């Protein structure tokens, strides 16, 4: 079991409403005080299977994806993808084999909410307590300039890179708030 108590979760979706189809799920364990990171979880989800299970795609989101970078769109061409049920089983295993106490989303309502919808859709138990959800946007509200000045490393909208970026500025904000 790892020592990290926080997990940054980012999902990529084909919609921006509740019950949206999911294309990628990424998680990175981290230490909020130091910004150190631990184990990573990163999988592509079978979008067609999401829709078969009753999750939804949204035209505006699909149009938005078409305007994103070649690197971000390339994720959709990756052929190794898991069914929604298997994806969530793997995510549950990852979380239960960790020391994770708090899960973060940007916002919590979006990433963690859509994931919760997906868990409900396949009839699996959500592997965290809703009381332990924390929100990236709330932290950014206190020090927006830190996020604005944080250089992105990697590909925006590749969920694993988004997780690491969010961890970098959240831990910087945390440090600033705790050192006056
Ligand atoms: Mg993202």
* pLDDT given for residue 171 in this prediction: 97
Tens-digit pLDDT profile for the chain (180 aa)?
A: 578 999 999 999 999 999 999 999 999 999 999 999 999 999 999 999 999 999 999 999 999 999 999 999 999 999 999 999 999 999 999 999 999 999 999 999 999 999 999 999 999 999 999 999 999 999 999 999 999 999 999 999 999 999 999 999 999 999 999 985
* pLDDT given for residue 24 in this prediction: 98
Interval between CA 147 and ligand 1 midpoint (Å) = 15
Sheet arrangement for strand 133-135: 37-44, 22-30, 6-13, 102-105, 133-135
Angle at 17 between CA 16 and CA 20, to 5 degrees: 80
Q: Each residue of 64-80: b (16+ CB within 10 Å) or e?
A: ebeeeeeebeebeeeee
The tokens for 23 are 């294309």
Interval between CA 9 and ligand 1 midpoint (Å) = 9
Interval between CA 28 and ligand 1 midpoint (Å) = 13
**Pairwise CA distance, residues 55 & 83, whole Å:** 13
Look at the domain 6-179 and name its fold.
Nucleotidyltransferase; domain 5 (3.30.420)
- Per-domain residue ranges for the chain? 6-179
Interval between CA 20 and ligand 1 midpoint (Å) = 14
- Comparing C-alpha atoms, which of 8, 77, 90, 1 is closest to residue 43? 90
Angle at 30 between CA 24 and CA 34, to 5 degrees: 145
* pLDDT given for residue 180 in this prediction: 58
- Comparing C-alpha atoms, which of 102, 160, 157 is closest to residue 134? 102
**Pairwise CA distance, residues 51 & 95, whole Å:** 25
Interval between CA 123 and ligand 1 midpoint (Å) = 25
Interval between CA 180 and ligand 1 midpoint (Å) = 30
* pLDDT given for residue 167 in this prediction: 98
């Amino acid at each position: 079991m790892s020592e990290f108590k926080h997990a940054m979760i980012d999902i990529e979706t084909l919609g921006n409403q509740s019950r949206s189809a999911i294309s990628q799920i990424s998680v990175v364990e981290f230490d909020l005080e130091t910004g150190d990171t631990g184990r990573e979880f990163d999988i592509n989800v079978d979008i067609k299977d999401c829709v078969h299970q009753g999750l939804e795609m949204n035209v505006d989101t699909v149009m938005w994806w078409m305007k994103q970078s070649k690197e971000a769109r390339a994720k959709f061409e990756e052929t190794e993808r898991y069914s929604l049920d298997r994806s969530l089983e793997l995510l549950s295993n990852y979380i239960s084999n960790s020391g994770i106490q708090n899960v973060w989303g940007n916002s919590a309502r979006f990433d963690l909410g859509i994931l919760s919808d997906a868990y409900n859709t396949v009839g699996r138990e959500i592997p965290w307590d809703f009381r332990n959800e924390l929100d990236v946007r709330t932290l950014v509200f206190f020090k927006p300039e830190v996020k604005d000045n944080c250089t992105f490393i990697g590909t925006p909208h590749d969920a694993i890179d988004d997780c690491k970026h969010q961890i970098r500025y959240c831990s910087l904000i945390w440090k600033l708030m705790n050192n006056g």
